[in-house]
Amino acid sequence: LTRALPGDGLACARHLLTLDASYNHLTGVLPDAWAESLHLLRVLRFNNNPQLTGSIPTAWFPPLGDDDDDTLNSAGAGAYRLGNLVELDGTDCDLTGCLPANLGGASWLATLRLGGNRLEGAVPGSVTRLTQLRELSLRRNALSGGLPANLFAALANSLRTLDLALNAFTGAPPPFPTTGYPVLRDVDLSENDFEGPFESFGAVLLMRLSLAHNGLTGTFPSPCGSGFLDHLEIQGNAFDGVFPD
């Protein structure tokens, strides 16, 4: 398929549950107008369309409550928007701009893959509202700034895979939860600009952790609490001391 994605052309498809336009040669931008008609949409895939450009529409996501500090863009305000999305995959396109501040309004979102684009700016604090989120992949973008300090704690009961490699994130990595039964299994924070200490594995039963090629310092903590760990990458940092027993 070629040319642009239809905007108003899908106005008659109000019962659409899945839209998969991946692996094509689509051009143009993502239509704001989908927020006005595709209220029941659960799965949206437009990945691997390298000429698909523009930003991720703020209009797609429901507004946040007044208690959130993120600044909202009022464009495309609607009653429902794409608030029923469970999966959003825009991997390997040519998307630019920032992640929408009201991304956390898509409260059913379980899979979010936007790697291999040119997205910039910070991860919005509202992502910690995505309490159904199982996979978050934003690798190979130009994202920067610090991550929400409560990222792992807020998503402890859902998040299994986090891939933020090959960006420009700064600050200290968020601490892992120290209580409860977190389900996190696979974390890749490599090739960023994280700095400071990596304090603890917490209560996480990780299988894979990559912190490679950052600016982390201090003593590396013992991984003994993570009895399922089978893949650990910590090269290219400035850890000191001895390797823990």
pLDDT digits (tens, 9 = 90+) for 164-213: 999 999 999 999 887 777 899 999 999 999 999 998 887 778 899 999 99
pLDDT exceeds 50 at position 227: yes
Q: Tens digits of per-residue pLDDT, 13-23?
A: 889 999 999 99
pLDDT value for 77: 38
**CB half-sphere exposure, 139, CA atoms < 13 A:** 13
Q: Taking CA 136 as the corner, what is the angle to CA 138 and CA 63, rounded to the nearest 5 degrees?
A: 95
Q: What is the pLDDT of residue 8?
A: 81
Q: Which range, of 25-29, 62-66, 113-117, averages the lowest pLDDT?
A: 62-66
pLDDT tens digits along 53-89: 999 999 999 998 754 444 433 443 334 699 999 999 9
Q: What is the pLDDT of residue 78?
A: 39
Read off the amino acid at residue 61.
F
Largest CA distance in the chain: 64
* Residue 32, CB-side half-sphere exposure with 13 Å CA sphere: 12
- Coil, helix or strand at residue 44: strand
Cα–Cα distance for residue pair 181/160, rounded to 1 Å: 12
Cβ distance 12 to 34 under 8 Å? no
Q: Is 224 strand, coil or helix?
A: coil
pLDDT tens-digit readout, 37-54: 999 999 999 999 999 999
